[in-house]
Amino acid sequence: MGQEEKSEENPETEEIEPFPFIKGKNIDLCVRNSKLLKQYVRWKNHPRVRKYARNVVPRTLEDQKQRFESKVEEFKDHISLDIWHKKDKKAIGNLGLGHIDWINGWANAFLFIGEPEYWNKNIATEATELLIEYAFNELNLNKLQGGAAVENIGSWTVAEKMGFKFNGIRKDEMYVDGKYVDVKTHSLLKEDWLKRKNSM
């Protein structure tokens, strides 16, 4: 009985069974799990995590439940996966493809690590590589694109490390901490990705 009360009080301590969709070396990309809804809410409200993700409106558990259920309808142009740390056996972030244009073969790539203690540990790099492989080899997309605030060095550094090419600057694109900031935009063509892989 005591164990049940502890589990109800903090569901994040329950053992979560991941459902890997794409397997990596240190992480897996897993199907999103309704048992992690409270964790998703914590990520979206975390001051450091939400800063450049631009979650400026407080998120509630009820909001997240509705958004989670709506993802079933969004599959046509949106795919989202959890980043699962294999050694620590926990979800640490989320990534995916948004605004998928199936006719013209492109999508926006997005990624965030919701647990700050896992920042700067090459996890985003491995996750990005897995996402790229999935987008080009399984979905047969031709181009991925994305953007990050100029000040968000970690994000666009990962993109450039994985072969994304700098496209340009969108001036005053984001409002962060009381000021407008520029956004660096990048894109990656399937052809360039294959050339990069073959040269390694």
Other CB atoms within 10 Å distance of the CB of residue 30: 20
Statement: residue 8 has pLDDT above 80: no
Say which residue, 160 or 5, is predicted with more confidence. Answer: 160
Strand partners, 187: 145, 165
Domain ranges in the chain are 2-199
CA distance 111 to 13: 24
- In a 10 Å sphere around its CB, with 0-12 CB exposed, 13-18 middle and 19+ buried, how is residue 108 labelled? middle
Instruction: Enter the CATH code of domain 2-199.
Output: 3.40.630.30
Look at residue 142 and give its three-state secondary structure: coil
pTM of the entire predicted model: 0.83
Name, of 141-145, 146-150, 171-175, the range with top average pLDDT: 141-145
pLDDT at residue 2 tops 70: no
Burial of 3 (0-12, 13-18, 19+ CB in 10 A): exposed
Confidence of residue 57 (pLDDT cuts 50, 70, 90): low
